[in-house]
Amino acid sequence: GMRGWLGGSSGINAEYGDVSHNIAKIEQHMVDGRQKTLMMHRKGSTRAFPPNHPLIPVDYQLTGQPVLIGGTMGTCSYVLTGTEKGMHRTFGTTCHGAGRAYSRAKSRRNLDYLTVLENLRAKGISIRVASPKLVMEEAPESYKNVTDVVNTCHGAGISDKCIKLRPIAVIKG
């Protein structure tokens, strides 16, 4: 299950996940009651297949496909799993994150590098970054609220919330 995928009770150290959010794949889906071969292009979203789907690894057959939903440098992230309802409503697709609230340019204009760093430090988050520009562009204030987005997907039944993660360190470069 999910606990094994995340390294048991010892934390996230056994494996990691890499979730594509701009990819095209040929998949089989039901359309108007008939199975069809489709080219699925997921842009700004990610695949989330339900339990017992033949295309997900055997380790996830009971839980559904795990999906990492990244928050920001200063907010939580989530692990979701795919649902059968999601297969019918969205061809097995869910969000991949919250999305930007401000453009990169607007973030650079409106946010102060040192203030962003201090806010992260106050939350106990260590940061290593290649450039001050990246800190402002990727600041928590630059993004929509990931919890709201995840709750919407969960409420719609297109994916299930499984685990909430808290950042302890950020490396940007």
Per-residue burial over 86-98, b if 16 or more Cβ lie within 10 Å, else e, is bbeebbbbbbbbb
Task: Kindly provide the residue ranges of all beta strands, DSSP E only, lying in the chain, ordered along the sequence.
Answer: 22-31, 34-43, 45-47, 66-69, 77-82, 93-95, 126-129, 159-165, 169-172
Q: What is the pLDDT of residues 80-100, one digit of tens each?
A: 999 999 999 999 999 988 889
pLDDT of residue 9: 46
pLDDT of residue 36: 95
| 124, burial (CB in 10 Å: exposed 0-12, middle 13-18, buried 19+) | exposed
Residue 140 per-residue DSSP state: G
String of DSSP letters for 60-108 = GTTT--EEEEB--TTS-EEEEEE-HHHHHHHSSEEESB--BSS-HHHHH
Q: Which of 28-32, 103-107, 168-172 has the lowest mean pLDDT?
A: 168-172
19: confidence class by pLDDT, cuts 50, 70, 90: low
> Would the pTM of this model clear 0.75, i.e. be above it?
yes
**Amino acid code (one letter) for 155:** G
**Amino acid code (one letter) for 44:** G
Which of the residues are catalytic? 96
Distances (CA, A) of 106 to 4, 7, 98, 143, 155: 41, 39, 17, 12, 32
